Structure 1
Amino acid sequence: MRKILMAAALTIAAGGPLGAQEMSPRATFVLHCAGCHRMDGQGSLPGGIPAFPDSVGHIANTDEGRTYIMHVPGVLGASLTDAEIAEVVNYILETWSDGAPRFDEAEVTRRRAIPVPDVVRKRREIVAELAEQGIPLSTYPWP
C-alpha cells in the first residue's frame, strides 16, 4: 500500500503518469532540493546547508559563482539532465533572488565540465570576493 501511495504522490507531483511528461521545476525542487534546503529555502545551519535568500542571487551574479552552483553536491549528484538542472536552478533564482541571470542547458553543460576540486574552498573564495564588494551572504556553516 505504501508503494502505491508513493507512486501516486510522484504522479501528482509530476503532473501525470511518470515518464509521460517532464516534471515542473517546482516539483523537481521538491524532490531533489527541498530535503536539504527546505521548502522555504532556509537550509539548515546545523546540517551544513546554506540558505538561499540573500545569497544564491549574489552568487549567481558572478562568473565563478555560476560555476560553483553547478558543483554543489546536490547539483553534482542529481540524476537530472543539464536542461532539468537549468530549469530547477532558474526556479531557485526566481524564488530567492532579485533578477540573477537565468541558466540555459548549454551553460550548465559548459560549467559542469569545469573542474572544481574543492567546492567548499570555491565558496569561501566567492564569499570573500563578494564581501570585498560589500555584499554579505547568508551564514555558511562549513569551517
Structure 2
Amino acid sequence: MTWSFRTAFTKYAHLDGAAWHYADDDGLTKEKYKTWSQWNGYGRVQVQSGGWDGMRSLTEHRFLRGMDGDRKNAAGGTKSVTVPDGEGGSLTDHEAFQGTEFKTIDYTAPGGTVESKTVSTPWRKETAKRVRHWARSPPT
C-alpha cells in the first residue's frame, strides 16, 4: 500500500507598514472624537507557496491605499501622497483607488529573479459628487 499526502503551505508578508486614514466626516461624530481610525491596508503583500519540502513560489502584490488628501496631523493640513510604480514613474494615491492593485510581480522562486510582472495604471473621471448637507453653512 502506498500513502500520498499533499500538504500545501502559504505564507504572507505584509510590507511597508499599515495605512490608517483620518475618519471621514459622517455628520454624526464630533470633530473632537475623530482620529486615524479607518484601515486602508498594506502597500505590499508577498505571498509564498509551497509544500512540506519548502516554498516554491513567490508573488508580490502592490496596492494603492487612498492616502492622498488625508489629514496631515492633529492640527489639520492635507497630505500629498504619491506611490512609486517601480517602473520609473509614480501614481497619485487618490482615495478612489484605495485597495486597487497596480502591480503584480511573479518570481522564479523565493529569493529568485523576476519571472513576469503586470503593471496597471488606474484612472478616474468624476461623474458625480457627494454633497453633505450638514457640512454647508445654514442659510441666512
Q: Do Structure 1 and Structure 2 share a fold, with TM-score over 0.5?
A: no
TM-score with structure 1 setting the length? 0.21
* Greater per-residue helix proportion: 1
* Greater per-residue strand proportion: 2
Structure with larger RCO (C-alpha < 8 A, sep 6+): 1
TM-score with structure 2 setting the length? 0.21
